[in-house]
């Protein structure tokens, strides 16, 4: 009998151990692809047939390097991203209505983040802070995103280590601050902007501080409260390259440099309808033209580039 009891006791212990060991694996399982829906529930596993309601609910159930997709139109709420991930809502109207907070915070360390086909809107409540705030990431891709009505900046990059931010096919408009603002506290922040619009923002369309560079092409900067694009330097370099860009109807300058380390390069660019085309450099800085720009119809002065160089 003792032998039988020992065998039974051992069997029960083994079964219990197997059951207990399986519980955390189920609870902690994350999917490589999850889904949100306007009629979803964050208590769901975020599968295609049982979607979540919000991005915040889905992100904890999505594996690193995974992807969140949208099944149907909806408002999916603000979210903080702390790992490499893709949020892609191609084909539906996916909204983030941020009241009293940032729309999307990217704090992904050395991760890579993609945000595609989103509308980040604070117009209805007028209390959103930044549409997208980048605190850390190796790279951030923003594609086909509309950001408007923020009380701060449309996009701000406040990283403490080097990062690359790419904005394509997007519209940043009617924000109280800058359309896009790069002000890293460490490393170098790099921006690439293609086929996008920064319009009717309270300050500049694009503003760079120290240790930043930007390449802007095939884009429109218009109706902003100060300048279309501004490079500012208090010690570190601030460099912007413009190619096939229209900077028009801005209150101050089509382009503005401030500080000795600030440089704006221009090719195939139109500066028109601003107070100044080339705003007089403030405390240094320079404009380098490739000689194929059009500067016309600015109300105070078209201004002149600091240097004109021949095309290679």
Q: What is the pLDDT of residue 123?
A: 73
How far is 288 from 205, CA to CA, in rounded Å? 20
Instruction: Inform me whether the pLDDT recorded for 87 exceeds 90.
Output: yes
Mean pLDDT of 122-139: 87
Q: What is the pLDDT of residue 311?
A: 67
- From 279, 295, 208, 200, select the one nearest 245 (Cα to Cα): 295
Q: What is the pLDDT of residue 29?
A: 77
Give Cβ neighbours of residue 152 (< 8 Å, ≥ 6 apart).
Answer: 128, 129, 130, 175, 176, 177
- From 196, 201, 242, select the one nearest 220 (Cα to Cα): 196
Which of 3-17, 49-63, 139-153, 249-263 is predicted least confidently?
A: 3-17
- From 42, 47, 59, 168, select the one nearest 106 (Cα to Cα): 59
Confidence of residue 17 (pLDDT cuts 50, 70, 90): very low
Residue 135 in contact with residue 165, Cβ under 8 Å? no
Residue 151 in contact with residue 126, Cβ under 8 Å? yes
Instruction: Inform me whether the pLDDT recorded for 3 exceeds 60.
Output: no
Q: What is the pLDDT of residue 118?
A: 98
Would you call 6 helix, strand, or coil by DSSP? Answer: helix
Q: What is the pLDDT of residue 27?
A: 42
Parse the chain into domains and list their residue ranges: 65-308
How far is 273 from 30, CA to CA, in rounded Å? 53
Which of 21-30, 38-47, 262-271 is predicted least confidently?
A: 21-30
Residue 278 in contact with residue 255, Cβ under 8 Å? yes
Q: Is 120 exposed, middle or buried (0-12, 13-18, 19+ CB in 10 A)?
A: buried
Which of 81-85, 123-127, 288-292 is predicted least confidently?
A: 123-127
Of how many residues is the chain composed?
312
Q: Within 13 Å and on the Cβ side, how many CA atoms surround 192? A: 9
How far is 209 from 187, CA to CA, in rounded Å? 12
Q: How many CB atoms lie within 10 A of CB 34?
A: 26
Confidence of residue 25 (pLDDT cuts 50, 70, 90): very low
Give Cβ neighbours of residue 145 (< 8 Å, ≥ 6 apart).
Answer: 115, 116, 117, 118, 119, 120, 132, 167, 170, 171
Q: What is the pLDDT of residue 99?
A: 84
Average pLDDT, the chain: 91
**Token code pair at residue 279:** 């705003």
How far is 294 from 41, CA to CA, in rounded Å? 54
Instruction: Inform me whether the pLDDT recorded for 127 exceeds 80.
Output: no
CATH number at 65-308 = 2.160.20.10
What is this structure's pTM? 0.90
């Amino acid at each position: 009998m003792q032998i039988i009891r020992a065998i039974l006791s051992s069997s029960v212990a083994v079964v219990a151990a197997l059951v207990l060991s399986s519980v955390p694996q189920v609870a902690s399982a994350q999917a490589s692809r999850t889904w949100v829906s306007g009629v979803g529930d964050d208590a769901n596993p975020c599968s295609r047939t049982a979607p979540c309601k919000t991005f915040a609910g889905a992100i904890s159930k999505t594996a690193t390097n995974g992807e969140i997709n949208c099944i149907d139109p909806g408002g999916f709420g603000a979210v903080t991203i702390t790992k490499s991930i893709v949020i892609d809502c191609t084909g539906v109207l996916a909204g983030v209505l941020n009241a009293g907070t940032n729309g999307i915070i990217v704090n992904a360390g050395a991760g890579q983040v993609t945000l595609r086909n989103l509308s980040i809107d604070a117009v209805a409540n007028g209390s959103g802070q930044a549409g997208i705030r980048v605190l850390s990431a190796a790279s951030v891709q923003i594609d086909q995103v509309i950001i408007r009505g923020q009380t701060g900046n449309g996009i701000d990059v406040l990283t403490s280590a080097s990062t690359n931010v790419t904005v394509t096919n997007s519209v940043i408009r009617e924000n109280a601050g800058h359309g896009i603002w790069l002000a890293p506290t460490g490393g170098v922040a790099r921006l690439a902007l293609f086929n996008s619009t920064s319009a009717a923002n309270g300050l500049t369309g694009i503003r760079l501080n120290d240790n930043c560079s930007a390449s802007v092409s095939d884009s429109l900067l218009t109706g902003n409260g100060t300048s279309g694009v501004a490079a500012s330097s208090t010690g570190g370099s601030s460099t912007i390259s413009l190619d096939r860009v229209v900077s028009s109807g801005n209150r101050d300058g089509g382009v503005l440099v401030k500080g000795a380390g600030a440089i704006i390069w221009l090719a195939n660019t139109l500066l028109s309808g601003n107070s100044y085309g080339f705003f007089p450099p403030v405390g240094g800085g320079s404009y380098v033209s490739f000689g194929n720009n059009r500067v016309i119809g600015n109300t105070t002065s078209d201004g002149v580039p600091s240097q004109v160089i021949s095309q290679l």
